[in-house]
Amino acid sequence: MQTATELDVLRTAVAAFRDAGESLALVPTMGALHEGHLTLVREARARADRVAVSIFVNPTQFGPNEDLDAYPRQMEEDARLLEAEGVDLLWAPNVAQMYPEGFATTISVAGVSEDFCGATRPGHFDGVATVVCKLFNQVRPDAALFGEKDWQQLAVIRRMARDLDLTAPHVDAILGVPTVREADGLAMSSRNRYLSPEQREAAATLPRAMREAIERIEAGADVRATMQALEQALMEAGFSLVDYAAIADTASLTRLDRLGEAPARLLVAARIGGTRLIDNMAIGKA
């Protein structure tokens, strides 16, 4: 595996793949890798001749009171994990390279980025869209893979890629990979390591309560009342705040107060101690 920490080194490595006629898939990450990330890498390997992974803890997607400084950083261990997965290229820029003196451009995706995490983390998706656009321009992959765990992020990136012609037309080059879960159902996340043993146990209530809510709504229960019951179940389990618990259209993320014909998603963000967890699941007709 080649590691590039400078843009010209990255470009030379990518050009060598291209000169050899090889396809390239990109897996963008913020590091602190777990099985969720490695599943994205394996999917990428199955789809392209070459795989590039980026590791960059992007400061512009963190709010002023969020965990930018505390966010886990373990570059050497991550590099070992990626090497073992057969990754070809690790792109690990620093903040000054990504945002040089005078950097002044922001990409903002209206609509799909506004509710849910966009409302509770103002500016978050501007930071995500801008850095992902830069990563696409730096690496110029044929395809990029993202986790469904960050469902709204995936929707924002798909919208941006279509709007800005970042990928080939008529090709779904932005690929979503189903959420990888722990044995008790908790979605894997780098932030799970912030949880104390007691909080970790209580955190499994999140996917459990979501599945119960889905069963009830699919059996005809009222959406609003079921969302209230879901919030209550989380608070009783030890969560301190539910940022949102709602059903939305899968693609537009418009909130729904009942299931209809279009595919829908249950989306939840909730805090336990100082840790904010998100999860989402399909509901209704697939």
Ligand X SMILES: CC(C)(CO)[C@@H](O)C(=O)[O-]
Q: Which residues are annotated as a binding site?
A: 30-37, 61, 147-150, 153, 180, 188-191
Minimal distance in Å, beta carbon 190 to ligand X? Answer: 8
Report CA torsion sign: 199, 202, 206, 208.
positive
Mark 40-69 with x for binding to ligand X (rule: CB under 6 A) and - for no binding: ------------------x--x--------
Question: One of 13, 17, 37, 176 is an active-site residue; which one?
Answer: 37
Rank residues 29 and 205 by Cβ distance to ligand X and give the closer one.
Answer: 29
Contact between 253 and ligand ATP by CB under 6 A: the answer reads no
Residues 26-52 as b or e (16 or more Cβ within 10 Å = b): bbbbbbbbbebbbbbbbbbbeebebbb
Residues annotated in a binding site for beta-alanine: 61
Contact between 186 and ligand ATP by CB under 6 A: the answer reads no
How many Cβ atoms from other residues are within 10 Å of residue 11's Cβ?
A: 14
Q: Is 37 a catalytic site residue? A: yes
Contact segment (CB under 6 A) with ligand X among 27-35, 90-98, 240-248, 249-257 equals: 27-35
Quick check: 116 and 267 in contact, CB under 8 A? yes
How many Cβ atoms from other residues are within 10 Å of residue 87's Cβ?
A: 22
Structure token pair of residue 131: 């850095």
Residue 37: which of ligand BAL, ligand ATP, ligand X, none does it interact with, CB under 5 to 8 A by kind? ligand ATP
Give, as ranges, the residues between 149 and 188 that touch ligand X (CB under 6 A).
150, 153
Q: Is 68 left (phi over 0), alpha (psi -120 to 50) or beta?
A: alpha
Contact between 126 and ligand X by CB under 6 A: the answer reads no
Contact between 150 and ligand BAL by CB under 6 A: the answer reads yes
End-to-end Cα spacing for the chain: 39
Contact between 61 and ligand BAL by CB under 6 A: the answer reads yes
Ranges of H-type helices in 31-123: 35-47, 75-84, 95-98, 117-120
Closest CA to 13 of 51, 48, 57, 56: 51
- Amino acid making up residue 238: G
Closest CA to 206 of 99, 280, 273: 280
Residue 131: which of ligand ATP, ligand BAL, ligand X, none does it interact with, CB under 5 to 8 A by kind? ligand X
Residue number with the shortest CB distance to ligand ATP? 147
Of 147, 156, 247, 270, the residue at the interface with ligand ATP (CB under 6 A) is 147
- Amino acid making up residue 93: P
Rank residues 61 and 275 by Cβ distance to ligand BAL and give the closer one.
Answer: 61
Mark 11-50 with x for binding to ligand ATP (rule: CB under 6 A) and - for no binding: ------------------xx-----xx-xx----------
What residues are annotated to the active site?
Answer: 37
